[in-house]
A = this chain, B = another copy of it.
Amino acid sequence: MYDVAIKKGLCYINGEFKALNVGIEGDKIAYIGKDNISGDIEIDGTSKLVMPGLFNAHTHLAMTLFRGFAEDMPLMDWLKTKIWRAERLLTSNDVYWGSMLGIMEMIKTGTTCFSDLYIYMDKVAQACGESGIRAVLCYGMADRGDSERAKKELKIGEEFIKKWDGAYEGRIKAVFGPHAPYTCSLEFLRDIRNRADEIKTGIHIHISETKEEVENFTKIHSKPPVEKLDEINFLKSDTVIAHGVWLTDVELKILAKRGVSVAHNPVSNLKLASGIARVTEMVKKGINVCLGTDGAASNNTYNLFEEIKLTSLLQKVKTGKADALHARDVLEMATKNGYSAYGIDGGELKEGGLADIILLNRKSFNFIPLYNPLYAIVYSSMGCEVTHTIVGGKILMEERNLLTIDEQKVMERMERIKEKFRSD
């Protein structure tokens, strides 16, 4: 008798879908196989696809607050007259509700874990705790060359880790979040790396998002960011760099050698006109690539199925080869690779792994005819085919009903909060 038994679903294992039963005990997958099993809770999987939950490897969750706030403006104009102005009005209460809406959207579209870098992170952690989702959280630090500020920032970052790492039955992992090499001095980054080694935590950072940023950095330091950061031994296998759009061949080699993961954000990279990352080459070089949505202001959704399809499509057109990546590789970027980037034992259906699992309706019109569920998920999903979202063995969504979040309340709060940001 398992805590939860998912019966007769088509389960994604080793790149293929097979009709199997899944037994969950506590927060782990205890059994996968053909035996008839029973559970305190039983889920009929006969019309479902069962797969690992998605991992959103780079986001700024509470930016749901600025979803559709201002669009189609030149980047600096948009940041200066809209986003930064609005962010100055942010309170911790806003971040709590903005995060809750983001979590709602993630659970509804099959994401079971996400990695967030923002401010008022205590409130993000609280929202994760209450909603039941899993997360890697960090306080976004920047010193902008000010050594006093560096000390203060590192202190806040470290206190956040001490307070939250392992919280909520281990669902929260806390790491360091230096913003980027153009907002953090090399001295600061070196201190962060040393401290990360001492307290044994990871690092989540933006690198090489825009061409301009890389050119400016290279002018100052005579080397592009990844080369320079490697010089100070910043890059290790506990490091996840977000974006990586403008990496050189040498930089790709360094990332592969150091075991650094890249969080690829295709929608955001198009929306902010940043560019198309060299994902096919990263994969060929053995770099662990995972997928993220970035913040809602530059996306505007947290629906990782969009990133899955777009990752595949963009690499086809970028390389000129329709077989640039296989659907299987891309699905792993969205699942296993995200978990593995942050050192969490999930993202696969396997006995002993975390029970972060989603179910999809395989009778959805856009999946028909169902030649191969893998292709249906990668190329046909809208996101709303997800019927169940399970995190650490706990059912957070059942037949599209959220069990841990009051949807109406969250949406009403957000509609009220948004009024203060309006500038038109």
Interface locus among A117-125, A254-262, A283-291, A409-417: A409-417
Which residues from B are CB-within-8-Å of A422?
A: 371
Which residues from B are CB-within-8-Å of A274?
A: 317
Residue among A101, A313, A320, A414 with the most chain B CB within 10 A? A313
Which residues from B are CB-within-8-Å of A321?
A: 74, 273
A354-385 CB contact bits vs B (8 Å, 1 = yes)?
Answer: 00000000010111111110011011101110
Which residues from B are CB-within-8-Å of A271?
A: 313, 316, 322, 379
Chain B nearest Cβ from A188, distance in angstroms? 30
B68 and A370 contact, CB distance less than 8 A: yes
Q: Pick from B267, B325, B375: contact of A68, CB below 8 A.
A: B375
**Contact A322:B68 (CB < 8 A) given known A366-B301, A370-B415, A414-B369:** no
A365 and B322 contact, CB distance less than 8 A: no
B317 and A68 contact, CB distance less than 8 A: no
Q: Pick from B78, B275, B326: contact of A72, CB below 8 A.
A: B326
Please report which residues of chain A, range 246-300, place their CB below 8 angstroms from some CB of chain B when the two chains form the complex: 267, 269-276, 299-300
* Size of the chain A interface, CB-CB below 8 angstroms: 71
A270 and B73 contact, CB distance less than 8 A: no
Chain B nearest Cβ from A174, distance in angstroms? 27
Task: Answer whether residue A65 sits at the interface, using C-beta atoms and an 8 A cutoff.
Answer: yes
Chain B nearest Cβ from A413, distance in angstroms? 9
Which residues from B are CB-within-8-Å of A74?
A: 321-323
How many copies of this chain sit in the oligomeric assembly?
Answer: 2
A22-46 CB contact bits vs B (8 Å, 1 = yes)?
Answer: 0000000000000000000000000
Q: Residue on B with the closest CB to A411?
A: B368
Task: Answer whether residue A351 sits at the interface, using C-beta atoms and an 8 A cutoff.
Answer: no
Task: Answer whether residue A394 sits at the interface, using C-beta atoms and an 8 A cutoff.
Answer: no
Q: Residue on B with the closest CB to A296?
A: B380
Chain B nearest Cβ from A100, distance in angstroms? 11
**Contact A273:B319 (CB < 8 A) given known A366-B301, A415-B370:** yes
Q: Residue on B with the closest CB to A415?
A: B369
A363 and B411 contact, CB distance less than 8 A: yes
Task: Answer whether residue A236 sits at the interface, using C-beta atoms and an 8 A cutoff.
Answer: no
A65-B369 Cα distance, complex, nearest whole Å: 7
B411 and A365 contact, CB distance less than 8 A: yes
CB-defined A-B contacts under 8 Å, sample of 17: A68-B375, A69-B371, A72-B325, A72-B326, A74-B321, A104-B365, A267-B313, A271-B313, A272-B322, A300-B366, A300-B375, A301-B382, A303-B366, A368-B415, A369-B414, A369-B415, A370-B415
Using CB atoms and an 8 Å cutoff, list the residues of chain A in contact with chain B.
Answer: 64-65, 67-75, 78, 101, 104-105, 108-109, 267, 269-276, 299-301, 303, 306, 309-310, 312-314, 316-317, 319-327, 363, 365-372, 375-376, 378-380, 382-384, 407, 411, 414-415, 417-418, 422
Q: Could you list 10 further interchain pairs (A-B, Cβ under 8 angstroms) beyond the known A67-B380, A68-B370, A272-B322? A: A71-B372, A71-B378, A73-B322, A267-B313, A273-B321, A273-B324, A274-B317, A300-B375, A369-B414, A371-B418
